Structure 1
Amino acid sequence: MRTAFILSPLLPIAAAHFTLDWPAARGFDEDKMPTFPCGGFNTPSSNRTSIALDANVLPVDITFHHSQTAVSYLLALGSNPGDNFNITLEPTLGAHGLGEFCLPSIPLDSKTLGVSLHDGQNATLQVVTDGDNGGGLFACADIVFSSSVTTNTPTSCKNNTGVEATPFSGSAATRIANESDANGAAQSGSGTATSSGTSPTSTSQGAGVPLQTASWGILGAAVLGGVAML
């Protein structure tokens, strides 16, 4: 008797668009990542990551699961800021490659933020990338600035081999990633750079091109070349 075997096709392995690894994200649900402002996690975490107040910098470690990505970094001050991510920390950048990518020293000085931080101040980081079919993907991390923490110690902060990133120039540098495609061009139907994709969001002074000069001057070729940074 001949026994017939039917081989089922292999199911595709689901891959996240990106993950926010440090500071610790509020949560992760790949299906909800297109949901503004925090990928479906609207309640601030009770377990905030402590950030060294006097360091004046913020390391951010993410992992890309798309080979080409536009990414923006924004900040909202307060314990429960809702969708008020009105401080742009970095010019929107274009990244190539898969795996871990870290910016070790995003400036948090008063000139960059437009305000002075204080001990015990709560804030929320928002990381935004361009979406598969337009729009954006969102993840948030809740943080607290502490004078008792002297050094920021992310669980990891390095760039995977082959991961490279450069800041976009001109209007692409100030266009939030959910309004951008992976090459920095405006998505069809998009207008003024926004964080929600539906209504304009203001940015603090020091964002955009002036910030690009300050922050990327510090990071230099280490980020551009994808060299590991510890």
Structure 2
Amino acid sequence: MQRYLALLMLALAAVVNAHFQLQYPPPRGVFVEDNEPTFCDGYNTPASNRSIFPLTGGFFTMNSEHPQWTAGVIIATTQDPTSFNNFTQAKPFFQETGEGIFCIPLNFADNSNTTSLQDGQNITIQIVFDGGDGNLYQCADLTLSSSFTIPSNVTCSNATASSTTGSTGTSTGAPASTTSKSAALGKTVSAAITGLVFSICGVAMMAF
């Protein structure tokens, strides 16, 4: 019986502890799993060396450890954003299905909140990610350039072509509510956990 309970605890931990990692542009600092539920993954000051990022036609890449998730991008134009109040939406929230590396378009010309951005301007983007167990955050500090092209060695490909918004995560609708989508995903994860509990407990009972 103890062996089956141990298996159950490991399975539940795998669901609850799943995270995401921003790959490109480089995040503020080294990924810290325990701090990811906090503002900018626990990094409260901008990076001293900002990354150059295209003013239009850019993308970001990230690794998801969740089978189904919601994500969005918020942006701050202040030099030293210290709270979520400094940020506005830069990309509507969207849903994806699958684990692994994903490439998400980030074209500042597509959103009315970011069309006034200018060449040479310093900004901070914050990726907001929810796999059903709460919001997670990572930030990247950027300098925009109208002539910069993302290097060819930065791969833009997706782990899966299955998604509710298209394989590139492009959203064409109005900005969605983070709360409603998070709640929907939370129900999915809860249902999966419940099924897992009954399945493992059923196997354990059959062993007696």
Asked whether the two chains share a fold, i.e. TM above 0.5, the reply is: yes
Which residue matches 1:116?
116
Structure 1: distance between partners of 2:184 and 2:19:
13
Cα distance, 1:109–1:86 mapped onto 2, change above 3 Å:
same
8 Å contact from structure 1 (residues 71, 92) kept in 2: yes
The percentage of counterpart residues that share the same residue type is 36
Contact 2:97–2:164, Cα closer than 8 Å, also in 1 = yes
Select the residue among 139, 148, 151 that pairs with 1:150.
Answer: 148
Q: 2-side partners of 1:118 and 1:168: how far apart? A: 24
For the 8 Å contact 1:68–1:182, the answer to whether it is kept is no
Q: Give yes or no for contact 2:131–2:185 (8 Å, CA) kept in 1.
A: no
What stretches of structure 1 of length at least 5 have no aligned partner? Answer: 1-8, 186-230
- How far off is 1:162 after superposition? 4.9
CA distance in 2, matches of 1:34, 1:178: 19
* TM-score for the superposition, normalised by structure 2: 0.67
Query: Which region of structure 1 is more displaced relative to structure 2, 44-53 or 21-30?
Result: 44-53
Deviation string, structure 1 residues 117-156 (Cα, Å, up to 9, x no partner): 23321111111112654x4111111111134x43123722
SS at match of 2:26: coil
* Alignment-derived partner of residue 100 in structure 1: 101
Instruction: List per-residue Cα deviations over 1:185-209 (Å, max 9, x = no partner).
Output: 8xxxxxxxxxxxxxxxxxxxxxxxx
Gapped runs of 5+ residues in structure 2? 1-5, 188-208
What RMSD, in angstroms, separates the aligned Cα atoms of the two structures? 3.3
Distance 1:132 1:176, change over 3 A: closer
Following superposition, the deviation at residue 19 of structure 1 comes to: 0.6
Alpha-carbon deviations, 1:33-61, whole Å to 9, x = none? 111x21111111112110133xx233111
Which residue of structure 1 lines up, in the alignment, with residue 190 of structure 2?
none
Alpha-carbon contact 1:128-1:136 (below 8 Å) kept: yes
Normalized per residue, which structure has more helix?
A: 2
**Runs of 4+ more than 4 Å apart:** 12-16, 167-171
Query: Alpha carbons of 1:85 and 1:174: their partners in 2 closer, same or farther (altered >3 Å)?
Result: farther
